[in-house]
Amino acid sequence: MRGGALAALLAAVALTAAAHEPPPAPPPLFEPPAVGSYELPVIQRVSEHWLLAADGSRAPLLGIGEAEVALVAFVYTRCGDACPLALATLQRLDRALAARPALGARTRLVSVSFDPAYDTPARMSELRGHMRPKGRWAFLTARDAAALAPVLSDFGQSFVQIPDAGGDPSGLLGHVLKVYLVDGRRDVRNIYSTEYLVPQLLLNDVATVLEVAAEDAP
């Protein structure tokens, strides 16, 4: 069953990816505000944390310099709904950033599992293989739940374990999907939930925070 859930997830996020390319995002019903035409005030400050990379080595969660940004999404591989949407959005961003070196070189995408007991580095590596990142995209997990807890607390990402019919953990986690845009000072400049995962909007925000000239922007 668990393997089935992972397969379902991977199928969902890589559905069209016979060619390993994400489908185009549906066009938004609005024109995202122009790069640099608005402010993204600091929502909160987070710390750097050390987790496990897909190859099992220690890796920084943010891993960015002062003039860079990170887009951090908390997901888990047995998740069948919101997480595939987040991963598909990150995949679209990865492709878009790869085509815009002025942004891509200064932007790191980070997928962090909050199910470390199941999502081992090997499973995150498998997920990475399906995503086929073209740019800086890290797939991280933690040694165990205790190692991950301060990370979730720092970011304000809550979740609950969903019980099965017998009241035991089902392997599913209830959570509100959040993708965090973090700048080089470790300040969170925006947070996106399912309702607002519009790739063009995220790209414009990245360019706005990085103060990339409009001609180099998305």
Partner 1 sequence: MSLRNAVSGAVGLVLGALVFASGTARADETCQSPFLAKITGQEDYVYVWTLGVKDWGDESDKLVTIGTNPARPDFGQVVSAVAVGGQHEAHHGGFNDDRTRLWLGGLDSSTIFIFDVATDPANPKLVKKIETFVEDSGGVVGPHTFYALPGRMLISGLSNAHDRGGRTGLVEYSNEGKYIRTSWMPQSAPYGYDSRVNANLNRLLTSSFTGKNNYMTELPKLMKDPVAMENFGNTMVVWDYHAMKPLQVLEVPGAPLEVRWALQPRHHYAFTTAALTGKLWGVFRKQDGTFEALDLGPIGDPNAPALPVDISLSSDDRYLFVDTFMDGTTRVFDVSNPRAPKQIYERKIGSQLNMVSQSWDGKRVYYTSSLLANWDQTGPANEQYLKAYTWDGARLTPSFEVDFRALALGRPHIMRFGDLELHRPAGLPEPEPAPAAAAP
- Cβ proximity to partner 1: between 39 and 215 the closer is 39
Q: Is 189 one of the binding residues for partner 1 (CB under 8 A)? A: no
Distance CA 136, CA 110 (A): 8
Q: Kindly state the number of chain residues that form the binding site for partner 1, as judged by CB under 8 A.
A: 45
122-130: long-range contacts, CB 8 A cutoff, minimum separation 24: 123/6, 123/77, 124/53, 124/54, 124/77, 125/54, 125/55, 126/6, 126/10, 127/10, 127/54, 127/77, 127/87, 128/54, 130/10, 130/13, 130/14, 130/17, 130/20
Binding mask 199-218 for partner 1 (x = CB under 8 A): --x-----------------
In the bound complex, what is the minimum distance in angstroms from residue 139's beta carbon to partner 1? 21
- Cβ proximity to partner 1: between 3 and 27 the closer is 27
- Cβ proximity to partner 1: between 81 and 144 the closer is 81
CB 19 within 8 A of CB 127: no
Span near partner 1 by CB under 8 A; candidates 9-17, 108-116, 120-128, 153-161: 153-161
* Strand partners of residue 190: 181
Q: Is 146 one of the binding residues for partner 1 (CB under 8 A)? A: no
Q: Is 172 one of the binding residues for partner 1 (CB under 8 A)? A: yes
* Strand partners of residue 59: 51
44: exposed, middle or buried (C-beta count within 10 Å: 0-12, 13-18, 19+)? middle
CB 80 within 8 A of CB 5: yes
- Cβ proximity to partner 1: between 81 and 211 the closer is 81
Q: Is 37 one of the binding residues for partner 1 (CB under 8 A)? A: yes
In the bound complex, what is the minimum distance in angstroms from residue 169's beta carbon to partner 1? 4
In the bound complex, what is the minimum distance in angstroms from residue 32's beta carbon to partner 1? 7
**Torsion-angle region of 186 (φ positive above 0: left; ψ -120 to 50: alpha; else: beta):** left
The binder of partner 1 chosen from 169, 213, 214, 216 (CB under 8 A): 169
Binding residues vs partner 1 (CB under 8 A) = 28-30, 32-33, 37-39, 41-44, 79, 81-82, 85, 156, 158, 160-165, 167-170, 172-178, 180, 188, 190-196, 201
